[in-house]
Structure 1
Amino acid sequence: MMVRISEIQIHAEYLERYKEILVEEAEASIRLEAGVIAIFPMYQQEDPTQVRILEMYADRQAYEAHLKTPHFQKYKTTTLPMVKSLRLIDMHAMDAQTMGKMFRKMDGMP
């Protein structure tokens, strides 16, 4: 599995439009791509221009395929001028077994 955290700072004047585009992209990624396990966008309560995205892919191939999709390409090209800074942080899961249990637990939630 490939896990990444994207740290993104958005120019304040673009924040609402950026959030709309990101939510659309995340939904399409989950719906259309079998190898995308999670695209979970969040923003800091104290500073909404500070966006974080938890990204989980089945493997590196799934990530590479994601980058080529029309919905990701639209997100990337449309939001580029909105982004003040971007940092991609690759992560390693410390407890992959519990992670699987978390997703099964969510299946039972309304």
Structure 2
Amino acid sequence: MTNLEYPPLFKLYEIDIKPEKQAQYFALGKRNLNLSIKTEPQTLAMHATHSDKKGLKNLIFELYQNKAAQERHRNSPQFKKYALFAKNAITKRKVTELIPELLLEKYDFLSKSSSENMAVKYARISLKRESAAAFKAAVFSEMQQAIALEEGVCAMYAATIQNQPDEWLFLEFYQDKAAYDKHRATPHFKEYLEKTKGLVETKDLTDLVADTLVSQGNLNYERGN
């Protein structure tokens, strides 16, 4: 198990690309991620996904052990090749700095299902003022039970947006859609909904399509108070 004593660096990149550049962008991105996870031990996880039918609206989630690890990645040959091409392929780029709250992965996270079958869920939640402590307790309990008790739950990440402690982001990986549906029927998920229904201001859930998912595996990190 990769237990982390210090909070890793967590970033979300939202990238729109030109249709005519899509195939080469995808190929270079896949090469970059696969080489990086093999050659950079402190690059913890990198997940490239898209949210639209054409695959032009990309969301890339990156976890590094620290800032130095990210700098090593950015200086790697595979990233430089990707970045050089991406410069002319990208029409829009937004970077969101995240604070990891809870990161949980199964030891065989990416061997349980092919990325084609995996259900990837992305949620953004805005909390009511002064609800963060109660929400954190409820959602941490639910996530920990899901990973421990449900075979089809592969990984769950929870984070807040930097300098916005009431804005939460969740990235969840399920073996397939049936595993996700089963998860929503569990007692611990229903308990979480009941405990947090008065704490949430807005909630937005998006289905993502997995393009390239890589991880060192078995991450375990919980942010203290």
The two structures have a TM-score, normalised by structure 2, of 0.44
2: CA distance, partners of 1:107 / 1:41:
15
Partner of residue 32 from structure 1, selected from 146, 149, 157: 149
* Structure 1 residues 15-59: Cα deviation after superposition (integer angstroms, max 9, x where no partner): 111011111111000000000011211111210100001011000
Which residue in 2 is equivalent to 1:10? 127
Structure 1 residue runs of 4+, over 4 Å off?
none
- Equivalent residue of 1:40, what SS? strand
2: CA distance, partners of 1:7 / 1:108:
22
Deviation, structure 1 residue 106: 2.9
The two structures have a TM-score, normalised by structure 1, of 0.88
1: CA distance, partners of 2:134 / 2:218:
31
1: CA distance, partners of 2:219 / 2:167:
31
Which residue in 1 is equivalent to 2:207? 90
More helix per residue: 1
- Equivalent residue of 1:13, what SS? coil
2: CA distance, partners of 1:22 / 1:29:
10
Deviation, structure 1 residue 7: 0.4
Which residue in 2 is equivalent to 1:44? 161
Deviation, structure 1 residue 108: 9.1
- The count of residues paired between Structure 1 and Structure 2 equals 103
Q: Gaps spanning 5+ residues in structure 1: where?
A: none
Larger relative contact order (CA 8 Å, sep ≥ 6): 1
2: CA distance, partners of 1:44 / 1:27:
21
Partner of residue 106 from structure 1, selected from 212, 217, 225: 217
Which residue in 2 is equivalent to 1:56? 173
More strand per residue: 2
2: CA distance, partners of 1:84 / 1:16:
15
- Equivalent residue of 1:6, what SS? strand
Aligned residue type for 2:208: M
